[in-house]
Amino acid sequence: MFDTVLVANRGEIAVRVIRTLRALGVRSVAVFSDADADARHVREADTAVRIGPAPAAESYLSAERLIEAAARTGAQAVHPGYGFLAENAAFARACEEAGLVFIGPSADAIALMGDKIRAKETVQTAGVPVVPGSSGSGLSDAQLADAAREIGVPVLLKPSAGGGGKGMRLVRELTALEEEIAAARREARASFGDDTLLVERWIDRPRHIEIQVLADGHGGVVHLGERECSLQRRHQKVIEEAPSVLLDEATRAAMGEAAVQAARSCGYRGAGTVEFIVPGRDPSAYYFMEMNTRLQVEHPVTELVTGLDLVEWQLRVAAGERLGFVQDDVRLTGHAIEARICAEDPTRGFLPSGGTVLLLDEPDGDGVRTDSGLSEGTEVGSLYDPMLSKVIAYGPDRATALRRLRAALADTVTLGVQTNAGFLRRLLAHPDVVSGDLDTGLVERVVDDLVTTDVPDEVYEAAAAVRLDALRPRGEGWTDPFSVPSGWRLGGTPKPVGFHLRVQDPVEYVPRGAHAVAGDTVSVTLDGVRTTFRRAGDWIGRDGDSWQVRDHDPVAASLTRSAHAGADSLTAPMPGTVTVVKVAVGDEVTAGQSLLVVEAMKMEHVVSAPHAGTVAELDVTPGSTVAMDQVLAVIAPHESEQADRSEEAGA
């Protein structure tokens, strides 16, 4: 076993790897960018090395700086985690050339399986069924379009060089092909530095089921059962579980053997995942999609049902050990489900969010595990992936695991940063999820039923209670009646105390219930129902949901509106970086015209003109960092547009 291992990653996966290193008595080395100087993974490692400025290209994606950090600290091996350079063959090769053990497969295996076109051809030769689609690499836009027409819509455009849903586009109409190919190439190039695409037949209402494999360097290969990953948004997994309710023992064994053959076909070593697309009505008709040559985000559910520490086995295999078991020794016991907690705002279309973690409570206890990179004070920015943590529940059966996970998400508190925890809790209670009737389009079909922009009265009541408590006098002695929030006035009837508040739209709220404020909790009773919230700063939270309830100044807002009278301000939909500016001040624009692109956490958002008009102000340039709701541009409507608005207002 190694003495010292450098963890070439950040966030929750770095913390998780460090945990196993500590359990094995192996010294851990963390790396950090300037943005992560006080991050949890830095504090928990035995040693930490600064590797550069905040942008990933100058820090976590710099193979040279990572290898230099390993040399400076005496590390013998490098664990890449997932993301960043985990599936980068050049990085694996650079580690080997520097005398470091790369904890993962060989560079050749990474390169082969990282090229989706070659991977499909390789596993097909080994007898593994694959999805019908384009063959050959380096296809032009015209060739991709021809292949799509030959296959027949719907088709899926996929980057050849990467995974994780980045750059994938589902095309249902041939007329949209040209635009979707361009968009897929742009995102693939930004995410992987390679815009090569392939096209595959889209299987309607499919299930996404993957098989975990482990292989040593001595010819031993086993599979550890499957994970159901069908609950996805925008091709990104949000809930994963093991095992799948869809598979019987015969199908599980057949898919497992196919995954083992796929691993053998590329001389695989270490932990890897073979992903299959499975028709829900016929699970025996499964197709190979791709192989992820790394540890998966969802590996904890496999650990819980098998009792194996996958990071430990990655380390043992990399150190030259044989697997200590064969296929017949693998047993799946019980059921495990994982929820990915991400910095995103469901009420804003799941756009990335950000901020400082003001209050943090992460669940644990019987049958519950949380893998997290967070701590109070963590600054969540727009530079890295939005996933913050994972909450995993285990039980003797699926119903128990579901109940435990819903309860754990209700206990999850991350105030200061908007997350999807409450949305995931509601998703797990949806009848189709409870019954196991899943497919990759389910979340998109039910999302509107699980997200609401309405703010419950008790949220405003709790925010008002906190403000009332802050105004109440403390200590003994005479109290100035004008300083007490009682509504008292000289020679008149007391007026109810109200507050101008804003979550999204401003409201004037007059508290009407009973309140109790103590520490970081606030309880309110409305209409005989008592509700308890957690609170920090101007944030209020309960059951995994949170609301930032800010004070609203109607006078200041009125002055701002007056400054832009007759014009519409375009604001940043999320904190991020402006990557594209397509207009200049004075340009004439049409309704719906694309004006700017804001990028955050690997997601692009196009800002379009709300109406025809003239660009009156432009406050950003490419590379500008912007906060949520920051004004980007002002579009003055044409006179005809303004006249129509005036008529509508008069009506």
pLDDT in tens, 111-124: 999 998 899 999 99
Q: Which amino acid is at 266?
A: C
Q: Are strands 576-581 and 625-626 parallel, antiparallel or unpaired?
A: antiparallel
Q: How many residues are listed for the chain in this entry?
A: 651
**What's phi and psi for 304, nearest 5 deg?**
-70, -35
Min mean pLDDT across 241-255, 291-305, 394-408, 485-499 is at: 485-499
Would you state the pLDDT for residue 223? 98
Question: 640 falls in which pLDDT band (50, 70, 90)?
Answer: low
Would you state the pLDDT for residue 478? 66
Residue among 133, 69, 75, 66 nearest 100 (CA): 75
Q: Is the pLDDT score of 651 beyond 60?
A: no
Q: Are strands 77-79 and 4-7 parallel, antiparallel or unpaired?
A: parallel
CB 521 within 8 Å of CB 535: yes
In 550-650, where does DSSP find H-type helix? 554-563, 639-650
pLDDT in tens, 267-288: 999 999 999 999 988 899 999 9
Would you state the pLDDT for residue 133? 82
Identify which has the larger pLDDT, 517 or 576: 517
Would you state the pLDDT for residue 563? 57
Min mean pLDDT across 102-106, 179-183, 545-549 is at: 179-183
Mean pLDDT on 454-473? 92
Q: Is the pLDDT score of 159 beyond 60?
A: yes
Domains in the chain: boundaries: 4-103, 132-201, 206-450, 453-471+499-552, 565-650
Would you state the pLDDT for residue 480? 65
CB-based contacts of 600: which residues, under 8 Å, 6+ apart?
A: 351, 352, 354, 382, 574, 575, 576, 577
> What's domain 565-650's architecture?
Beta Barrel (2.40)
Question: 355 falls in which pLDDT band (50, 70, 90)?
Answer: very high
Residue among 470, 599, 632 nearest 538 (CA): 470
Mean pLDDT on 190-200? 89
Identify which has the larger pLDDT, 519 or 567: 519
pLDDT in tens, 562-619: 555 555 788 888 888 899 999 999 999 999 999 999 988 767 889 999 889 999 999 9
Q: Are strands 197-201 and 169-171 parallel, antiparallel or unpaired?
A: unpaired
Domain 4-103 indexed as CATH 3.40.50.20 = yes
CA 650, distance to chain mean position in Å, is 45
Peptide linkage before 300 cis (omega within 30 of 0): no
Q: Is the pLDDT score of 259 beyond 50?
A: yes
Would you state the pLDDT for residue 162? 75
Mean pLDDT on 525-535? 97
Residue among 47, 53, 39, 38 nearest 7 (CA): 47
The long-range contacts involving 106-114, CB below 8 angstroms and separated by at least 24 positions, are 106/267, 106/269, 108/266, 108/267, 109/266, 109/267, 109/268, 109/269, 109/293, 110/293, 112/266, 113/266, 113/268, 113/272, 113/290, 113/291, 113/292, 113/293, 114/87, 114/89, 114/161, 114/162, 114/293
606 forms beta bridges with: 597
Q: Percent of the chain at pLDDT above 90? A: 77
**What's phi and psi for 496, nearest 5 deg?**
-55, 140
* Residue appearing with tokens 């292949």: 147
Choose the CATH number for 132-201 among 1.10.357.10, 3.30.1490.20, 3.40.640.10, 3.90.1150.10: 3.30.1490.20
At residue 413's C-alpha, the angle toward residues 410 and 418, to 5°, is 105
Q: What is the pTM of this model?
A: 0.86
CATH fold group of domain 206-450: D-amino Acid Aminotransferase; Chain A, domain 1 (3.30.470)
Q: What whole-number distance in Å separates Cα of residue 342 and Cα of residue 602?
A: 13
Would you state the pLDDT for residue 191? 84
Q: Is the pLDDT score of 561 beyond 60?
A: no
CB 630 within 8 Å of CB 572: yes
The overall average pLDDT reported for the chain is 92
Q: What whole-number distance in Å separates Cα of residue 357 and Cα of residue 373?
A: 12
In 324-476, where does DSSP find H-type helix? 398-410, 421-428, 431-435, 442-450, 457-471
Would you state the pLDDT for residue 649? 47
